[in-house]
Every structure is written in C-alpha cells, then in structure tokens.
Structure 1
Amino acid sequence: MTNPPSYPTGPTPYPTGAPPYPSAPAPDATGHPYHRLDRATGRHRWWRPWAGTLLLAVAYFAALLVLLAFSFGLGTALGAPELPDGGADLGPVGNTAMDLVSIAIALPLVLLATLWPARRPVGTVTSVTGRLRIGWLGRCLLAGLPPILLLTVTAFLLPGDSGESDTWVGWRSFLTALAVLVVLVPLQAGAEEYVFRGWLLQAAGAFVRSPWFAVIPQAVLFAAAHGWGTRWGFLGLLVNGLVAGLLTIRTGGLEAAIALHVLNNLLAFGASAAVVDGLSSDETAADAPWPLALTAIVTDLLYAAIVLWFARRHKPQRLSAPSTPPAPCAHPARTA
C-alpha cells in the first residue's frame, strides 16, 4: 500500500536567494559625493540637519560665554586693563590669541553635531574616506604657495592707508607673535572650514543634489560672517567661499579648503604682526579695497586651477565607498 504524500505544516520558505523583505531599499552601488554624505548612512531624516545646526549655534554661544569668563578672570588675575567692550586687554598677541581660540572652539562642536543628531561617523565631515588625507593636504599646501606669493607681492606694492603704521615691531616681538599664530591659525582656519565647507555644505547637500545649490548658501553665510566692509571685500569673500566649496566637492574632502584658508590667514596675521599695533587693528578681509580684493579673487582662481591639475594627476577619492549588500540568509533544508 502506497503511503500518502506528506506536506510541510510550517510557513512556506522563500526561494533560495530571495530577500525576506521585498520592500527594503536596494544598496547604493556607486557611493556618494562629499556634499551628499549625510545620505550615505541611511539614517537621514529631514529634521537632523536643522536640529544639528540649531544645536551647533546654541553650543557655540555657550562656549563663547565660558571663554569670555575665562578671559575676564585671567585678565583680573594679571591686573590687565579693561577693553571698551568689557573684556580684559591681554595685549595685541594675547587678544589675537583669544580671538583665534574663540573661533577654534567651533571645531569640536561640529564633530559632536555630526555624531548627534546627524548620527554618522565624525570622519564623514572631513572627507569621503572618513579621515584627513595628510598626503593630499600636503599637496594642497604646496599648490597654495605660488598664489600666496602673488598675493604677498601685490599687497606689498599697494599703497597703505594713511593711518596705518609701517614701523617694524622688532624680531623678538615678531617671532613671539609668529609662534602663537603658527599654532592657533590652523585651528581657527580649520574650524571655519569644518563649519562652512563641512557642516553647512553637507546640511544643504542633504536636500539638494546639485553641487551649486549646496555651495552657494554656505558661501553667502561665510562672507556675511566677516561683517560688511566694502562691496569688493564682500565679493572677494564670496568668491573664496564658492571656490573652497567647489574644491571640497571636487576633491572629496576639506583638505584643499583648509590649506588655502591656513595660508591666507598666516599671511594676513603675519603681515599684521610685523608692524607696531598691526594686531590691534579690527579690519578683516571684508574691509579690503578693490585692488587687494581683486588680487585675492585671482589668487583663489589660480589656486583652484593648480589644485585641479594636481587632482587629475593624483586622483584623490571623490566618492564614498559604495554600500555592500548584506549576505543572503542561508535557509536550513527542511526534512519531511
């Protein structure tokens, strides 16, 4: 007598290789450009960039209050005179150091905002590789030397304002100031890049695909953050922000923007430190006259051309690593 066929009593298994959840999104197979890295983790929500920007602004304001209290306490302990704004007068070098630190404190806050509420690795705000590419940073610093030399020569040949001092400050004072600048300017310049070309660029890029639409908002904010001086000064800063933002996307990281910013600021602060009361001036790049602003624009464009030439030769990574699909689940064989 033939036994009747047996049928499985449990749920029918999926065919081999079929996903258990057909509606799950397909993995990204191409990687993301720098300005779209907020989309690379799969944790993007519309509110995260907004919440991170608000948190960054509030935390920065609180950190400034703490730094101001520290500066006032230090000035009181040293018996320093009081500035018109109520702060302690620590001297030209001391005041400049405090100004640089007041910007540099934004750097760790950007990294914290990247961890939360953005909920992605802190390295994603640095480059598509998740780290600072030291070799590429060195090449960008090398690329910046000819343009900065051009800017230096032009600034030296331009006539200065009638009220500006041109008295040499002396080697001891100059070298002391230069040592402070070499330590703090890279932190200050890097912090600005992490805020504008890093966080704000990626926050805009979370909503738009076009590099231009991601680059323009941060460039306008960058120029406005320096105050309104002259129209040419504002234009020079706007072009600088656009060039730095586009180079960041084109090369896949902040290295090119950081190199240009560091070299520019070392030149500007170094020139001020060389003359008596130079560091006491409250002028910024926003106050540049048209010849200097126009030279700065040419400098930025020349730097961009050299960096892009280097990029064609050395090919820095421009996209994040593509997502890998999960390994298919193995279904145990069923026995009758």
Structure 2
Amino acid sequence: MYIKQAFKSLHEWWRYLVGFLIIFIASQIGSIPLLIAVMFKVMSNGGNIESIQDPNVMMTVLDSNLTLFLMLLSFAIGLLAIYLVVKYLHRQTFVQLTTSRKKTDWGRVFFGFGLITVTTLVVTTLDYYNNPQDYVLQFDLVPFLILAVIAIIMIPLQTSFEEYLFRGYLMQGIGVLAKNKWLPLIITSVVFGALHLANPEVDKFGNIIMVYYIGTGFFLGIMTLMDEGMELALGFHAGNNLITALLVTADWTVFKTNSVFKDISEPSAGFDVIAPVLILYPIFLLIMAWRYKWRDWSGKLFGKVEEPIVLTEEKTSNPTFIE
C-alpha cells in the first residue's frame, strides 16, 4: 500500500520533524528573491518600504510575469528540498514517495491533468457565452507567450511541491507514526486548506472559501489513498492551476496573469463557491473509481497501517518484507 512505502526507508519520527523544518526553511529562502525585487523596485521609484506591507499591494509592484516567476520560485526550491530530504535523510527513492507501483504511471498523471483541463475549458466556455458581460478579452501575444513559458515550467513545480509535501511526505510520515490512514488524511487536508488563508480570495469571499480549499485537500487525499499513489493528484493539481493561470484572471485572485480573459464580475460567496466540493469532486472520484477499478473504500481510507514483518534469512543480507 502507498503509506506502507515509508516502512522501506528510515522512518523515525524525528526524521520527519527535521525534514519538515528543512523543507519549510528552504521554501522561505526561495521567497527572498521576490522580496528583494519588490524592495528594489519600490526604492528605485522613490517609494516607502512600508507601502508594500500589504501582500496584495506587493504583488502589483512588478510586471505580472516576473511576479509569477519569482512567486513560484520558492515552490521550486521547496520541491528540491523535498527530494534531498527524502533521498539523504530517509534513504527513500522518489518513486516510493510517489506511488506504490514499481514506477510512476504517467498515464495516470495525464488523465488527472486532462480531466480537470477539459472540465475547466467547458465550464468557462459555457459561462463566457451565457455571461459575456463578466469577461474582458485581454489577449496580448507577447506577454501571453512569456506567461505560457513561465507557467508551463513553473506551475507544475509549484503544484508538485504541494502534492509531494502534503499527499506524499506528510501523508506517509503521519501514517506510519499514527498507524492508520484517516488521521493523515484529515491533518494533511485541513493544513493544506489552512495555508491558503493568506490568498486574496479569502478576503473577497470570506471564510466560506475555506470549504473549497479544505475540500480540495480531502479530494486530493482521497484520490491518493484510493489509487495507492500520487499520480492522479499530481496531474489534477497541475492542470487546475495551469489552465486557470492561462485562461482567466481577476483582480482578486492569487494568480494575476496576462491570461486570455479577465473576469470583471463581482463574485458572490454563494453556493457556486462550494459547488465543486459538493458536485464536481464526487463526480471526478466516481469517474476515476470506474476507470481504475477502485475497491475497498473503507479499508483504504480508514484502515490500519501495519508495519511489515521483516524476515532476515541466515546468510542473506537482503531482508524480506511480509505484508
């Protein structure tokens, strides 16, 4: 099983604590270039540093493409830190952190990516034709091409960092320590959602948007546990963020980009905010369950995580794991 992969590596509790701290510090170091660039820009224009204490203001000081790149850089450095921590602190292969299969199933990655991409395109197209007054076409070829290059390279790194941290490193770490599956699912989903509290969407919609963020965490966690690997979650998360950055932006989103359209409507904190969690996500899970023949939902989501018995035969240096 996926969480049991951690038993094949060094999995003492202190290693996960040290590893998490290393990953956190590395991601914070990765945010320094953005801060320096903003400070330099403000000071060169004769501004005051105190004027950029508001994160929403800070994100508008630089060109949007440069801001996006520097903002995503911290996630790329954090992903590198996860790789190094897993390899050297836990002596675990990256494949074992990714999946219970012998190798990463890229077909699953692309299926998850395609599922959310097609859905987003269809929903956005229908909304555009039904409510054209809510959109402004702002397509500008050169800025868009620069955005596309940055987004295609950097956004998968950003989403992979979040997936490998929450659905990978912490899911396995908490699972082998708690000896069950429901606790890591709850903790990683709630913390994943809580970390989005600083997003400008929260100011716009209010705390109800946290239902969406935490619900998305549960959705990705359920997907990972049921499929015994992160491939679907990796593809889905990357597709969601990438198509959003390229297709539609708004003044109240965390990604303010040179996308094709700009949403100028006044959003309301109504049912449409939580509709994905209550309607779309269950449909997606049913589609994946049908395609990949998921079984034993109770066992995979709430079952125990038991450490395999290791039998070391005489004159044999390779241990045998008994499930």
Secondary structure of the equivalent of 1:120? coil
Q: Does 1:311 align with 2:292?
A: yes
Q: TM-score normalized by structure 2? A: 0.72
* Residue of 220, 242, 247 corresponding to 2:190: 220
- Out of 162, 166, 170, which is 1:196 matched to? 166
Q: Distance in 2 between matches of 1:58 and 1:120?
A: 21
Structure 1 residue runs without a partner (length 5+):
1-32, 331-336
Deviation at 1:204, TM superposition (A): 1.2
Of 249, 253, 257, which residue of structure 2 is paired with 1:279?
A: 257
Q: Would you say 1:96 and 2:68 are equivalent positions?
A: yes
Residue 126 in structure 1 maps to residue 98 in structure 2: yes
Could you say which residue in structure 2 is the equivalent of 1:210?
180
1:142 and 2:114 aligned:
yes
Distance (Å, rounded) in 2 between the aligned partners of 1:219 and 1:264: 17
Greater percentage in helix: 2
Name the structure, 1 or 2, with higher relative contact order (CA <8 Å, separation 6+): 1
How far does the alpha carbon of each residue in 1:26-53 deviate from its partner, in whole angstroms, 9 at most, with x for none?
Answer: xxxxxxx222322233x33232222211
Task: Please say if residues 109 and 232 of structure 2, whose CA atoms lie closer than 8 Å, have aligned partners that are also in contact.
Answer: yes
**d(CA) in 2 for partners of 1:149, 1:72:** 34
Q: What are the within-5 Å matches in structure 2 for residues 1-336 of structure 1? A: 33-41=1-9, 43-65=10-32, 68-69=35-36, 71=37, 84-85=51-52, 89-129=61-101, 131-153=103-125, 156=128, 166-227=136-197, 229=202, 230-272=206-248, 278-279=256-257, 289-297=269-277, 298-312=279-293, 325-329=311-315
Q: Which has the higher strand share?
A: 2
Structure 2: gaps of 5 or more residues: 295-299, 317-323
Cα distance in 1 between the residues matched to 2:33 and 2:250: 31
Q: Match of 2:81, as an amino acid?
A: L
Tell me how far 1:224 sits from its aligned partner: 1.1
Structure 1, residues 203-230: CA drift from partner, whole Å, max 9, x if none? 2112223322111111111111111612
Q: Count the aligned residue pairs.
A: 282
Deviation at 1:327, TM superposition (A): 4.6
Per the TM alignment, residue 144 of structure 1 is displaced from its structure 2 partner at its CA by 3.2
| CA RMSD of superposed structures (Å) | 3.8
**Offset of residue 103 of structure 1:** 2.1
Identity of aligned residues (%): 20
2-structure distance, mates of 1:111, 1:80: 40
CA gap of 1:145–1:173, structure 2 versus 1, over 3 A, is: closer
